């Protein structure tokens, strides 16, 4: 491994360790996403706690922190295997952030961002798969799980040299969704729309008072 490749892997981990969910919640004076809502510092939980604007800010930042280091590594002509490790490092930073006591999110948005420089056609397929699954099922976690399962096959079709690192990344995301998989199996997972409906109902009741 070259010094450049090692440096990019470390840089990717540090970028991933910047938890936008925690920072956005602090700025917006929202509850700490690690202890409120689902307890996951990610865009979906911030949507529950603070609404669409806060969640969109988190989502965009999380995508960019995965995209930037991988794009830089790609521009530096780092070999595919180390490029894949750079993507994994960004997601590991998001999941185990050194700046926030190693308690982070599940890495889905960061993984999307990390895959983007590999190919926009691949990124479009991944986002389309996630969106279609969420629209049909109503579960954000199910969208992430299905996307993670299918991602290695998409990559094998478009960019076969990245199949192994993306498969590793998918395994990491699936492991982080272990609890969600159990709740989905038991029928206990909350739909993404349910909390929005509750917030709208509460807002209407407040106005009525």
Residue 54 lies in a domain: yes
Cα angle for residues 43, 34, 186 (degrees, 5° grid) = 75
The predicted pLDDT at position 206 comes to 47
Residue 131 lies in a domain: yes
Residue 163 lies in a domain: yes
Query: In the chain, pLDDT over 70 holds for what percent of residues?
Result: 91
202 has a pLDDT exceeding 60? no
Residues 60-77, mean pLDDT to the nearest whole number: 93
The predicted pLDDT at position 138 comes to 82
The residue range of the domain holding 142 is 3-195
171 has a pLDDT exceeding 60? yes
pTM of the model: 0.83
Contact between 183 and 189 under an 8 Å Cβ cutoff? The reply is: yes
> Which residues touch 84 (CB under 8 Å, ≥6 apart)?
162, 164, 165, 166, 168, 169
Residue 204 lies in a domain: no
- Give pLDDT tens digits for 34-53: 888 878 888 888 988 888 89
The predicted pLDDT at position 195 comes to 60
Q: Minimal CA–CA distance to 155: which of 144, 168, 145, 173?
A: 168
Residue 205 lies in a domain: no
Cα angle for residues 188, 29, 198 (degrees, 5° grid) = 35
Provide the domain count of the chain: 1
Structure tokens at 140: 């954000």
Residues 189-200, mean pLDDT to the nearest whole number: 65
Burial of 60 from C-beta contacts in 10 A (0-12 / 13-18 / 19+): middle
Residue 33 lies in a domain: yes
Residue 208 lies in a domain: no
Ranges 85-99, 117-131, 183-197: which has the least confidence: 183-197
């Amino acid at each position: 491994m070259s010094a450049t490749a090692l440096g990019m892997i470390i840089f990717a981990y540090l970028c991933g360790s910047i938890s936008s969910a925690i920072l956005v919640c602090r700025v917006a004076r929202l509850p700490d996403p690690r202890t409120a809502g689902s307890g996951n510092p990610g865009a979906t939980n911030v949507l529950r706690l603070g609404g669409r604007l806060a969640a969109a800010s988190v989502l965009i930042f999380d995508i960019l922190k995965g995209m930037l280091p991988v794009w830089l590594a790609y521009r530096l002509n780092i070999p595919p295997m180390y490029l894949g490790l750079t993507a994994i490092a960004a997601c590991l930073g998001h999941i185990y952030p050194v700046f926030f006591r190693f308690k982070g999110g599940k890495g889905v948005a960061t993984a999307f961002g990390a895959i983007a420089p590999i190919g926009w056609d691949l990124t479009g397929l991944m986002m389309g798969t996630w969106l279609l699954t969420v629209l049909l099922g109503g579960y954000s976690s199910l969208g992430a799980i299905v996307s993670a399962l299918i991602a290695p096959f998409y990559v094998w079709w478009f960019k076969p040299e990245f199949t192994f690192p993306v498969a590793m990344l998918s395994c990491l995301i699936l492991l982080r969704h272990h609890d969600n998989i159990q709740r989905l199996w038991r029928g206990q997972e909350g739909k993404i729309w349910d909390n929005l409906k509750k917030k709208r109902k509460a807002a209407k009741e407040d106005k009525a008072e």
